[in-house]
Structure 1
Amino acid sequence: MKQYQEYILEHLKELLAIDSPSGFTGRAADYLMRLYQDMGYEPVLTRKGGVIVDLGGEECDNAFLMASHIDTLGAVIAEIKENGRLRISPVGGYGASAIETENCRVYTRGGKVYEGTCQLVNASLHVNTSYKETLRDFQNIEIVLDEDVHAKEDVKALGIENGDFICFDTATRVTESGYIKSRFLDDKLSAAVLIGYAKYLKDTGKMPKRKIYQYFTVFEEIGHGASASIPEGVTDVLSVDMGCVGDGIACTEKEVSICAKDSGGPYNYDFTTELIQTAKEAGIAYAVDVYPSYGSDVEAALKSGFDVRHGLIGPGVYASHGYERGHVDGMMNAFGLLVAYLDK
């Protein structure tokens, strides 16, 4: 499966280069629609803006669906201040300190894009005597536009309005040692793994024993990603999302994490056991973990009333919702687990 590593990395970088916070995911969805059409599939765009792909397989009443989300964290303009700075409202579970000093782009509804930087209010340490003590929250950070603006009227003259989206730089890097560093590996790293699996099926010409769907959701970061549009006949839904790395967690960036329980409760016992057994049999580096603060697409599906078995796996990612870090080994172990489980 090593031949798919560069393919997955290539499409990861392309996905990461497309700004797509929840509610502003159209360009990322368009990218997936074109990519899957080029591979010979017939992707479908849902009304919510997600992408569903039928990968083939025997017609049956126990279809399998794997879901990843292409929406990310971001922000919108909440207020244009009198001095021309922008107060923001976060989209998703951002911490204000995670984006302080980060470069960003402001997308207007008229189609223009402006650059800026997220800064602490009164950000010059040599001027602000309370700089170190200031609480980093969304009242105390602001967007400084890289335009000649000094008043609210100057900003509005650019076509910028409240509600315009703000997207933050990813600063993507892949090191010689195989580490992948970027914002928004949650969940574009897993989305790229799904793309790799679709390519694997096309390359090998395999006919899966059961119908397989892929679902790229676009509202996971705000809680209702896979709450709709799951095709009829699906009995198993696997969320392929970020695997947690941190204190009290067994997984590292080089492994695929199999989640037994998160803050929403335990995942399906039999499904999870099957995933663990498959990893053991295939010699895949894995860890089983309990995530203390986490929610997933498949939990949204259950809450919406879908009668399915639910599971969660993902490549290990450190520093979630910040400047995140994964590894190509964890990426490929997640890919390998999908192949091994669905080839059975």
Structure 2
Amino acid sequence: MDIDIDLTYTTRVLLRLLNTPSPTGFTEDAVRVVEEELAALGVTATRTRKGAPRWTLPGPEGARSVTFSAHVDTLGAMVKEIRPNGRLRLTRLGGYDWATVEGEYALVHLQGGGTLGATVVNVKQSTHVWGQELRELTRDERTIELRLDAVTRDDEETRALGVQVGDFVSWDPRAVVTDAGYVKSRHLDNKAAVAILLAVTKAVREGHATLARTAHFFVSNYEEVGHGAAVGVPADTDELVAVDMAAVGEGQNSDEHTVTLCVKDSSGPYDHALGNRLRETARAAGIDLRTDIYPYYSSDASAAWAAGADYPAALIGPGVDASHAYERTHVDALRATGGLILAYLTREA
């Protein structure tokens, strides 16, 4: 690999992002983190009217432009109902199974300011009370509830705490970097890619890479609900490469230690010619690039195409195990993904 991203910087920024709550629709704090990291690199971002940050690293005069997208919004929930027992019913933000958050710590972000700690439980949580009924319980929006870390026994006491229907709820990411180089956390989808784009920007700004293309970077804030990149991608984009997590699991070709090119997902195949350019770039740079197909997946590239975008689009990303649950990747995959992006940006168009 000819050019590396700074892994110390990448993991530091990634941990900062992971520990900044940003469920879909509530991303202001995470967007501000992106802007602050860019400012430290001497780069100024602009925002779309939907609140998505964008920035550009110019290439040679007249060069074609490629946009790399990632998303800073994550899975989460909103308060749907304040129950008579003072606990909260939730509605999901994004697509996940309720069983993947049962037992998780959470924060309720109060409309009036501040937060309340909480824990996700089910309505028959105690095995000593419910026995077999607990084991047979279906986990869904009717049986999962939020137990607040506050003295409340009814809905009036909960409302007195400032809780309202529509308050956002974020999950505790429990972000850890292990001695073996694994990053364990919720929301690696897709804060890993955002950290990688910032690391790529750092490498270029510090003179470690000479661009052959103009590089645009677009960080969407509504990807988890399907319309993140439907608008806002820079108008002069010649190619779009979405950078998002690669799905690792049985029957998949992706790996936690590598970067993957997704050639097809639920939205259909991605651009074959652009994919081949990325494959050739990886071969020339000595990067282990896997190819894979994701059966239940779509991306910001899918959203851009569905909205009528007229440019080729591809999807790459680091391998992430247990997606939409308590996820894991390895710094090898962060390095490989950043290396592929830098190799593509510096390769003659």
Q: TM-score, normalised by structure 1?
A: 0.98
**Kept after mapping to 1: 8 A contact 2:55/2:216:** yes
Equivalent residues in 2 for 1:165-244, closer than 5 Å: 165-204=168-207, 206-244=209-247
How many angstroms does 1:17 deviate by?
0.6
SS in 1 for 2:136: coil
Which residue pairs with 2:153 in the alignment? 150
Q: Structure 1 residues 336, 2: closer, same or farther in 2, change over 3 A?
A: closer
Shift of 1:61: 6.7
Find the counterpart in structure 2 of residue 4 from structure 1: 6
Deviations 1:156-213 (A, max 9, x none): 0011100000100011111111111100000001111001000000111655222211
**How much has 1:59 moved relative to structure 2?**
4.1
Partners of 2:209 and 2:93 lie apart in 1 by 40
Aligned to 2:100: 98
Q: How does 1:208-287 map to 2 (within 5 A)?
A: 208-287=211-290
Partners of 1:232 and 1:97 in 2: how far apart? 41
- The answer to whether the 8 Å contact 2:264/2:294 transfers is yes
Unaligned runs of 5+ in 1: none
Deviations 1:83-132 (A, max 9, x none): 10100000000210000000000001111200000001131110113111
**Letter paired with 2:324:** H
Distance in 1 separating the partners of 2:313 and 2:50: 22
Distance in 1 separating the partners of 2:134 and 2:127 = 6
Deviates more, 1:28-37 or 1:313-322: 28-37
Distance 2:196 2:36 in 1: 17
Correspondence for 1:313? 316
Equivalent pairs counted in the alignment come to 344
Q: Relative to 1, partners in 2 of residues 1:250 and 1:3: Cα closer, same or farther, differing over 3 Å?
A: closer
Q: Structure 1: which 4+ aligned runs deviate by more than 4 Å?
A: none
Tell me the residue number matched to 2:326. Answer: 323
Deviations 1:210-265 (A, max 9, x none): 22110000000000011111212111000000011111111110010111111111
Distance of 1:258 and 1:182 partners within structure 2: 23
Q: Any idea what the Cα deviations from partners look like across 1:52-86, whole Å, max 9, x if unmatched? A: 01122234373110000000000000000011010
Q: Which amino acid aligns with 2:297?
A: Y
1:161 maps to which of 164, 189, 197 = 164
For the residues of structure 1 that align with 2:209 and 2:126, how far apart are their CA atoms? 60
Q: Which of 39, 55, 58 lines up with 1:56 in the alignment?
A: 58
Query: Structure 1 counterpart of 2:287, which letter?
Result: I
Aligned partners of 2:212, 2:52: CA distance in 1, in Å? 26
SS across alignment from 2:134 = coil
Shift of 1:48: 0.6
Counterpart check, 1:127 vs 2:167: no
Could you say if the C-alpha distance between residues 3 and 201 of structure 1 is closer, same or farther in structure 2, counting changes exceeding 3 Å?
Answer: closer
Alpha-carbon deviation of 1:280? 1.3
Residue 31 of structure 1 is matched in structure 2 by: 33
| Counterpart contact for 1:251–1:286, Cα < 8 Å | no
User: Contact 1:69–1:188 at 8 Å: present in 2 too?
Assistant: yes
Letter of the aligned partner of 2:316 in structure 1?
I
CA deviations over 1:261-314 (Å, ceiling 9, x no partner):
111111101000111111111111221011111100011111111111100000
- TM-score norm. by structure 2 comes to 0.96
Matching of residues 69-108 of structure 1 within 5 Å: 69-108=71-110
CA-to-aligned-CA distance 1:12-67 (integer Å, 9 cap, x gap): 00000100010000011111112212211120011111100112223437311000
- Where 1:75 maps in the other structure, the secondary structure is strand
Supply the AA of the counterpart residue of 1:326.
T
C-alpha distance in 2 between matches for 1:60 and 1:32: 28
Q: 1:33 to 1:171 in 2, by over 3 A?
A: same
Q: Over aligned residues, Cα RMSD in angstroms?
A: 1.2
Specify the SS of the correspondent of 2:277.
helix
Cα separation, 2, equivalents of 1:2 and 1:254: 15
| 1:67 maps to which of 66, 69, 77 | 69
